[in-house]
Homo-oligomer: A and B are copies of this chain.
Amino acid sequence: MDQELKKPGKADRTRAAILAAAQQLFAGQGYELTTVRDIAAIADIDPAMVIRYFGSKDELFARAAVFNLKLPDLSKAERSEIGETLVRHFLSLWEGENANGAMPILLRSAASNKTAANKLREIFMGQVLPALTHAGGRSGAAERAGLVSSQLLGLALCRYVLKLPPVVGLSQDMIIREVGRTIQRYATGEQ
């Protein structure tokens, strides 16, 4: 009894090692090419333990790809800075100190994995769209959210998944300035 309280025992370390290995491989080569055996090899444990701890490869993926955009409250932001604010937020989320790599994981796997694709749809429909609803603009919120998503996801795709050299080489400042202007126009309909 009192088992689930503290004690970072060996079980917890094993579990954490599995999760870390899974995130590394899912992010690097997507869901289909990542095998339970590979994950176990990197975590330096037996393949059977992966299933024992997470039930199945699918459940492990769901745990590894947990992702919350935690979008800032745009209604409080200076209206003219909505674009840069959003881009700054995403860059920090993707490559800041606390980045967990969940976005590359989802993006790389969403191309051929329905679970990942649905999750990405949920995230952008459930978080980006509501955030833009109160940002105003001449046209519908759905259209604006679609345009914003196409630019932000395209940036992530080229920079983290495809690794197009010119996009990888873009400085954060340049991205915030240039892409920020685009997002500003899409989000507010101004300019």
- If A142-B169, A178-B186 touch, whether A29 touches B112 (CB-CB below 8 Å) is yes
Q: Does A86 contact B (CB under 8 A)?
A: no
| A112 and B32 contact, CB distance less than 8 A | yes
Q: Write out the residue numbers on chain B whose beta carbons fall within 8 Å of the beta carbon of A111.
A: 30, 107-112, 161
In the complex with contacts A111-B30, A112-B32, A150-B146 CB distance below 8 A: no
Smallest CB–CB gap between A64 and chain B, Å? 15
Beyond A112-B32, A178-B186, is A149–B166 a contact (Cβ under 8 Å)?
yes
CA distance A61 to B125 in the complex (A): 33
* Interface assignment of A60: CB less than 8 Å from any CB of chain B: no
Instruction: Provide the residues of chain B in CB contact with A112, threshold 8 Å.
Output: 29-33, 108-109, 111-112
Residues of B within 8 A of A5 (CB): none
A54 interface contact, C-beta 8 A: no
Complex: chain B residue closest to A32, CB-CB: B32
This chain's copy number in the assembly = 2
Q: How large is the interface on A (under 10, 10 to 19, 20 to 34, 35 or more residues)?
A: 35 or more
Is B167 within 8 A of A121, CB to CB?
A: no
Decide if A155 is an interface residue (CB 8 Å cutoff): yes
Contact of A170 among B30, B143, B169 (CB under 8 A): B143
Q: How far is the CA of A186 from the CA of B167 in the complex (A)?
A: 13
Q: Report the minimal beta-carbon distance from A58 to chain B, rounded to whole angstroms.
A: 14
Instruction: Tell whether A94 is near chain B: CB-to-CB under 8 Å.
Output: no
